[in-house]
A and B are shown apart, each in its own frame.
Chain A
Amino acid sequence: EAGVAQSPRYKIIEKRQSVAFWCNPISGHATLYWYQQILGQGPKLLIQFQNNGVVDDSQLPKDRFSAERLKGVDSTLKIQPAKLEDSAVYLCASSLVAFPARGYTFGSGTRLTVV
């Protein structure tokens, strides 16, 4: 079974620039999550999709972050404009159901550095 694919692996941008991350979940997984992990901290949930609908985006900074999941498969997370404090690893995870007995499957993440 192929894992969760994320790209790019690394990204360095200047503050106030825009950036987008891409995630391809495991085939057939209806639920997709984006997490932000700041160095030294645990992952923080940003947004949860069920198919192509948003289930929870209460912790997404909507003034600068946006996410979409077209056709209920791939997803993109965008930051516009970026701030220094957005430097983090952005993790995508997927699962068959919202709280699976075998947990989520995470991708390796995209490491964003804002300078």
Chain B
Amino acid sequence: LAKTTQPISMDSYEGQEVNITCSHNNIATNDYITWYQQFPSQGPRFIIQGYKTKVTNEVASLFIPADRKSSTLSLPRVSLSDTAVYYCLVGDNFGNEKLTFGTGTRLTIIP
């Protein structure tokens, strides 16, 4: 079962780019990396998913190095509304691994 490690918390100022790194040293060949965002009193919300190199969508970018033992979620020009907990998950597309949420990274945006 691929385990993930993330920083417990991070602070950043509005307008800056924020990078949150996740370590997953024992990621398997079939595993994808998925990031979720969770606001208080809400369920987690899917942000982005990737397998290798770089993936970009309308809200974030995901950078995955060649060895895939880590990944970095990049949030461009954050605002106060980006204050949330961010979770990194690793699992395969065949449902063979339980998608396990860690404790996540609590990101606080400072005005």
Q: A45 touching B98 by the CB < 8 A rule?
A: yes
Instruction: Tell me if B103 counts as interface (CB < 8 A to partner A).
Output: yes
Given known pairs A44-B101, A45-B99, A45-B100, the reply for A103 and B46 (CB within 8 Å) is yes
Q: Would you call B87 an interface residue if the criterion is a C-beta within 8 Å of the partner chain's C-beta atoms?
A: yes
Is residue B14 within 8 Å, beta carbon to beta carbon, of the partner chain? no
Q: Is the CB of A98 within 8 A of B95?
A: yes
The reply to whether A106 and B45 contact each other, CB–CB distance below 8 Å, is yes
* Interface SS, A side: loop
Q: Which residues of A contact B32 (CB under 8 A)?
A: 99
Chain B residues within CB distance 8 Å of chain A: 32, 34, 36, 41-47, 49, 87, 91-95, 98-104
With A99-B95, A102-B49 given, can you name 20 additional A-B contacts, CB distance below 8 Å?
A35-B101, A42-B103, A43-B44, A43-B101, A44-B101, A45-B100, A48-B95, A55-B95, A58-B98, A59-B98, A98-B93, A98-B94, A98-B95, A99-B32, A99-B93, A99-B94, A101-B93, A103-B36, A103-B47, A104-B46
**A residues whose Cβ falls under 8 Å from a Cβ of B:** 4, 35, 40-45, 48, 55-56, 58-59, 91, 93, 98-99, 101-109, 111
Supply 17 A–B pairs (Cβ within 8 Å), ascending by A: A42-B100, A42-B104, A43-B101, A56-B98, A91-B43, A98-B94, A99-B99, A101-B93, A102-B46, A104-B44, A104-B46, A106-B43, A106-B44, A106-B45, A107-B43, A108-B42, A111-B41
